[in-house]
């Protein structure tokens, strides 16, 4: 089951990472403001991970790729500031962003 979730996350992130940083989502539920991004990155860092790529956002939830101890993780920061991480993969084994 975990493999299926990681595969789904990889597929979603591969196709949407280019859109996460475009201005086309201004005024929509997928908009990412600098303040939202900074808050999410701070929450990931506080949890002991290093945020590397903002993959996409949806309805106030931000989805990142993060690293820690040579492992790559998918990180989700909810609109209320909670952070959830996937199981780690060795760096370099995650699909390209």
What are the E-state strand segments in 1-97?
Answer: 50-58, 61-68, 71-77, 83-85, 89-90
Please give the pLDDT value at position 12.
54
Query: Domain residues of the chain, as ranges?
Result: 2-90
| 74, 54 contact by CB (below 8 A) | no
Q: Which of these, 52, 47, 77, 51, lies nearest to 62 by C-alpha position?
A: 77
Q: Nearest to residue 80, comparing CAs of 65, 59, 97?
A: 59
pLDDT along the chain (97 residues), means of 10: 55 50 65 93 97 93 94 94 88 57
Tell me what pLDDT residue 19 has: 47
In this predicted structure, what is the pLDDT of residue 18? 45
pTM (two decimals): 0.67
E strand or H helix at 4: helix 2-16
């Amino acid at each position: 089951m975990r493999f299926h979730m990681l595969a789904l996350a990889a597929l979603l992130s591969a196709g949407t990472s280019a859109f996460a940083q475009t201005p086309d989502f201004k005024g929509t539920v997928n908009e990412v403001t600098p303040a939202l991004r900074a808050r999410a990155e701070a929450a990931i860092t506080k949890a002991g991970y290093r945020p590397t790529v903002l993959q996409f956002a949806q309805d106030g939830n931000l989805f990142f790729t993060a690293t820690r101890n040579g492992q790559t993780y998918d990180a989700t920061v909810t609109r209320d500031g909670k952070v959830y991480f996937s199981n780690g993969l060795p760096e370099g084994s995650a699909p390209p962003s």
